[in-house]
Structure 1
């Protein structure tokens, strides 16, 4: 059933090369303009199962699908089984792969094998064949290999298939594998083979490279045959023979089949629905460049009939390696004659007919119905046109044909205009016409290559999507790409270990259209990637383009490829093109993938940098907290130690310093006094009749008395360097730093005054009895140490006791015997 919208045909393949481009071109030639073509390069296009193809099919946006080979790039295994669940009931046809339940278009393998073997055995006389192929897991390769082996056996020739030569995936791998294989056989007397059969042209070119590097003459010693007749075989040196397997015709047959299915016509739905005949072998050589239909149509715009074009392809021209020079010249003359017949059949262009006023004179001339006078009038009008516009290339070609036609119908003696006309056009041969067109095509090709190179260089310096867009905007028009779009994921989809990512739907990043060309506004403008992504349209695999651009996929041919790197998927891009643009598309895919990979890695580095900065900040904060905690712990420990030290150095009863503290302080004070030349004085205080007080009121009352005495004494040392300590029992010591004997005596008197003012009761002395104190004073002058100082103060104390208590006595410094 035909959809209300234009028919849309999908073509699915694993990669884009010459062979696949020819098949797509064949599909285009049949389905357009009634249908649009959407070519999906499936390899790594989908970051999860189903992906773009599944989205388009589930949304009903593809009316039919052509499936080309879809093989794993890593293992060579067919991935057709991954597509089958997605296809459902959508009309599908295979070109290359095989499946028992799906229709297929193809060339019989036995036909290919028979043609190749006939050429090598009968035409070239080869008897020892070597098969070099792509991996056996690829679609159709094992069947083609089996057909080759059977064809060789049927012709009585040998065909060896070394396992190491059956895993070549492209030109590079074929060159490396073949070179290694030849290197291991270098010591053998002979090669052991005189022909190499390759299952693909790119593999055959790699084999040519290896043979040439090892000094093997091709085709002198060894003949090399490829398969596909693709552009990669053009201009090879040594010469490559390639099997034409009618790839374009296969694509056309697939397109016709799908149109029949979509239109509801009764066609088979499984098996080989179309067997495409082949024209046989063609020679590809840099010495004899032939033209395929696309190229010839572009160079000779007055032809569009495929049958006529085929006559110009030289398919019947003899192999120049098998024929002499005379035969080659004859072949070129036949080519010229075929071209003349084509131009003659087509006649002059509509513009020329109008300008010359020919009307139907041309067809009447061909039928021989023009009178002599009419032919003369016609020739005169043509002479005027030749003189006025000789630069038109197709006019010159037409005039070349006209030369022979007029010469046969208008005798030179009867019409003097004809000889002049023939003279003017004598040098305008068909070969010159084709040569001019070929030179123009080569100039265009070189210009295209230069533009692609400049774009690649421009993109190589980009690390942002914004920079990539600027480069694309500059070069796309120059490359002739009319429509183009790029959509990228907000963040790359990383490849897991098994290489088959399948994130949950809610974990998939959005796909955003970041660039468009020739389809509307030209894409979002932004200064930085974040701004660009925020303002870009969100697209889905089921649509590829937003609703405002959905109609763009309903006309022409769009190629859609994935953008990916070694570690992830970045997005996809699509462009309107044909097989001729595949090299441009591949260069752009690689260049844009590098940009996005660089962007992703830069983002990873920035994210890692931010992560490390966060870790450093967090660790720094932790260390700061740890330092603060340690500092607090140290302060607390120091305070605890101070408290402990204070507790150890304080008297538990009075709170004054104890004897150990006194000894330590006296040692420091004595050393300081000796160092500075100062004077150190001490007061030893003793509570009078304290034993009597204890005996009368008890020790608890005695302890209270000592505490109150300690409070009175605590005010004696009012400087930081002074010290008051309990010496033992009821004795106390006051240390006065930098104080001479008179000053110490005054302090002692003040202490006694304070004791008297305190009026501490002494029950042992009767009613009104008060506690009193005796004080002994001594200074360091003339003394040898702390012990002498304390001894002198103690003697003064006893003197105060002997003199009646409650008084101060002073021990004078001893006078030296020499004074």
Structure 2
């Protein structure tokens, strides 16, 4: 490693919980060796949806000579790729040490989780201990090696035990919850009820299947057992915690980093398989205590100090164990890891069985106290995580609203420079192409930089940007590089360093930055068009007046939903309020909010979220159809309807019409807690404006009604 600050390129398709876990341990190990990383975040290669191809131009910007090694998530990046396609993709890095993760690839050193051990233990448990015989299998992506291997082991164990598997019980979920949900719905719709266990190739699909079964009156595990693979957080917190196979992702990240460091030193590398492990919870119908893995006992208390303290307190030494135990738990920041400490206590209980009866009683009491401390720590962690996520969502929502209000690049850059540090980012950079279009530009300009990296206003060749500018100032930081694009139009790159324990949503932030730039570019295009027309005013007056009218209308329209925006609403409400003060008639307002919209975005993606908002806007427009009625997007997933000369009862009828129109759309919502389709919560207020009163009073009252609807049960109308 001749460079002062050696750097490893990380190629990934996403920054989700799985990727974060991998990257955290990988980067910690590399950082300890003085190696930084640059993470290029595109999408899956060769994805059937063409829009993903636009984001994957980010991989073409990677300059191999700027890195000393490459780490690639072959398992997720290559979901839709053959081995030959993946190897062709990695060809530019053939002279560098390359380590793959999760999917074996000929000619590439790979760290894998062994599907075989965990999957075989899972099937043996279901058949031998739980007695299941009638299985459904939910496949992952067709042709994906992980999905194929898990299915092959599933079939082999069934065959070994003489269990017949019906081929019409093999469903395809594509590793994607909405697809798995649809497949299970269709399976039940066809009248299939002759099964007692659903085995899914990953946990995300398993959670979706559990939801479908519950909707059809089938309880898990009383009526049907459901199991998965991966041990993700959503499975752990399901109503019936999910039995699954845990991939040692964190350990795999450390192994991959050590492999890469060795290869960067010129040492040969070889494939490594880390065994997966069965994790037994309620969803399989477990009726026996799980066997405690010996690894848990050794790894969590390698020197036996905790157990020694446990025995000391049993022998009368006060506070020998519980304070030490509590202090140890304070260093653990993962609910999954804390679950293993519960296993440690169970293992000790087996050891305590040989103690005298009086000490067994003491051991039981002490074990319960220690278990209570574990539970309290889990609750605190989950509460802190939830509160932190909500705080980040609120901050990001505020940042997105602020950014979207700027129509000039200067205003947007100023807002970003102010807002990004407020959400915890200290190192970030925005570089835009010299030309926007279907192909990335040849040159880029550094529009925004912080933390002493890059120089604002600097123009350089696109091929010199990454990782050159990020590493030029010598800082050893772990950068993420996100493409900025909309549909097939490239704008540039947004780069950031994620702070430790940030808890934010990188994808949401990228989306907000992208939408703000897109809005600014489109607005500037309209303004430039207007200016060009003004030069022709004498000879083409009619054309200029029409263009100006369209321009003003466009500036008052929400770019996504094509209903009026917040500015247009504020202006219209003030004018209508004054008119009603003079006439003495009632003015009504309906505030609408899409229920659980963030969960919808998380489950279905932001593209589907955008389409959902467009459909909702059109439904509102159809329901409020009088000439004076106005529909506007208030912000995010909130809409507002202004109803002139309308009483409270009339406004209620309009709200009910809105509710019926939205219900008729039947927009599927896989993550809703109140319905399988998209629903709205609404607050309704009507009043006669009096002299001296402010129109904001009406908005506030309607918003209070909306708050009550959301607080009560959602999918509800509250009239104040």
Among 141, 146, 160, the alignment partner of 1:154 is: 160
Q: CA separation in 1, counterparts of 2:524 and 2:471?
A: 31
Among 74, 93, 96, the alignment partner of 2:99 is: 93
Aligned to 1:634: none
Among 472, 487, 498, the alignment partner of 2:431 is: 487
- Per-residue deviation, residues 47-103 of structure 1 (Å, max 9, x unmatched): 889955444443332423334335479x67785245222222211122123322222
1:441-520 alignment, distance < 5 Å:
442-443=383-384, 445-460=386-401, 461-464=404-407, 465-494=409-438, 501=439, 508-519=441-452
Q: CA separation in 1, counterparts of 2:328 and 2:90?
A: 53
1:612/1:191 Cα in 2 relative to 1: closer, same or farther (>3 Å)? farther
Aligned to 1:203: 205
Q: CA separation in 2, counterparts of 1:562 and 1:226?
A: 33
User: Is the contact between residue 56 and residue 543 of structure 1 (CA under 8 Å) also seen in structure 2?
Assistant: no
Q: CA separation in 1, counterparts of 2:419 and 2:490?
A: 25
Aligned to 1:60: 66
Aligned to 1:322: 286
Among 590, 594, 600, the alignment partner of 2:511 is: 590
- Per-residue deviation, residues 572-614 of structure 1 (Å, max 9, x unmatched): 2232238965752122122222222322333444455567767
Q: CA separation in 1, counterparts of 2:297 and 2:127?
A: 32
- Per-residue deviation, residues 284-318 of structure 1 (Å, max 9, x unmatched): 88xxxxxxxxxxxxxxxxxxxxxxxxxxxxxxxxx
Aligned to 1:305: none
TM-score, normalising length: structure 1: 0.51
Q: CA separation in 1, counterparts of 2:199 and 2:210?
A: 11
Q: CA separation in 1, counterparts of 2:299 and 2:543?
A: 89
1:517/1:192 Cα in 2 relative to 1: closer, same or farther (>3 Å)? farther
The CA deviation at 1:276 is 0.8
Q: CA separation in 1, counterparts of 2:170 and 2:539?
A: 57
The answer for unaligned runs of 5 or more in structure 1 is 286-318, 348-361, 369-374, 399-424, 495-500, 525-534, 624-819
Aligned to 2:695: none
Moved more, 100-109 or 47-56: 47-56
Q: CA separation in 1, counterparts of 2:520 and 2:145?
A: 37
User: Is the contact between residue 63 and residue 467 of structure 2 (CA under 8 Å) also seen in structure 1?
Assistant: no
The CA deviation at 1:444 is 5.5
Q: CA separation in 2, counterparts of 1:16 and 1:52?
A: 15
Among 268, 271, 278, the alignment partner of 1:280 is: 278
Q: CA separation in 1, counterparts of 2:397 and 2:540?
A: 45
Q: CA separation in 2, counterparts of 1:431 and 1:172?
A: 37
Query: Counterpart of 1:43 in 2: which secondary structure?
Result: coil
The CA deviation at 1:7 is 2.7
Q: CA separation in 2, counterparts of 1:160 and 1:21?
A: 38
CA RMSD of aligned residues (A): 4.7
The CA deviation at 1:44 is 8.3
Aligned to 1:102: 108
The CA deviation at 1:235 is 1.0
1:149-548 alignment, distance < 5 Å:
149-160=155-166, 165-183=171-189, 185=190, 188=191, 191-268=193-270, 273-283=271-281, 322-323=286-287, 344=305, 394=327, 431-432=372-373, 435=376, 438-439=379-380, 442-443=383-384, 445-460=386-401, 461-464=404-407, 465-494=409-438, 501=439, 508-519=441-452, 535=457, 538=460, 540-544=462-466, 547=469
User: Is the contact between residue 563 and residue 571 of structure 1 (CA under 8 Å) also seen in structure 2?
Assistant: yes
User: Is the contact between residue 114 and residue 151 of structure 1 (CA under 8 Å) also seen in structure 2?
Assistant: yes
Q: CA separation in 2, counterparts of 1:252 and 1:395?
A: 22
- Per-residue deviation, residues 310-337 of structure 1 (Å, max 9, x unmatched): xxxxxxxxx9x5358xx79x99xxx999
1:538/1:432 Cα in 2 relative to 1: closer, same or farther (>3 Å)? same
1:124/1:545 Cα in 2 relative to 1: closer, same or farther (>3 Å)? same
Highest CA radius of gyration, 1 or 2?
Answer: 1
1:564/1:237 Cα in 2 relative to 1: closer, same or farther (>3 Å)? farther
1:553-572 alignment, distance < 5 Å:
555-572=476-493
Q: CA separation in 1, counterparts of 2:143 and 2:255?
A: 26
1:338/1:541 Cα in 2 relative to 1: closer, same or farther (>3 Å)? closer
Aligned to 2:678: none
Query: Counterpart of 2:494 in 1: which secondary structure?
Result: strand
The CA deviation at 1:452 is 2.7
User: Is the contact between residue 66 and residue 467 of structure 2 (CA under 8 Å) also seen in structure 1?
Assistant: no
1:543/1:338 Cα in 2 relative to 1: closer, same or farther (>3 Å)? closer
Q: CA separation in 1, counterparts of 2:302 and 2:65?
A: 51
Query: Counterpart of 2:505 in 1: which secondary structure?
Result: helix
Among 109, 120, 134, the alignment partner of 1:114 is: 120
The CA deviation at 1:274 is 0.8
Aligned to 1:18: 17
The CA deviation at 1:485 is 2.6
1:613/1:89 Cα in 2 relative to 1: closer, same or farther (>3 Å)? same
Aligned to 1:626: none
1:261/1:492 Cα in 2 relative to 1: closer, same or farther (>3 Å)? same
1:222/1:42 Cα in 2 relative to 1: closer, same or farther (>3 Å)? same
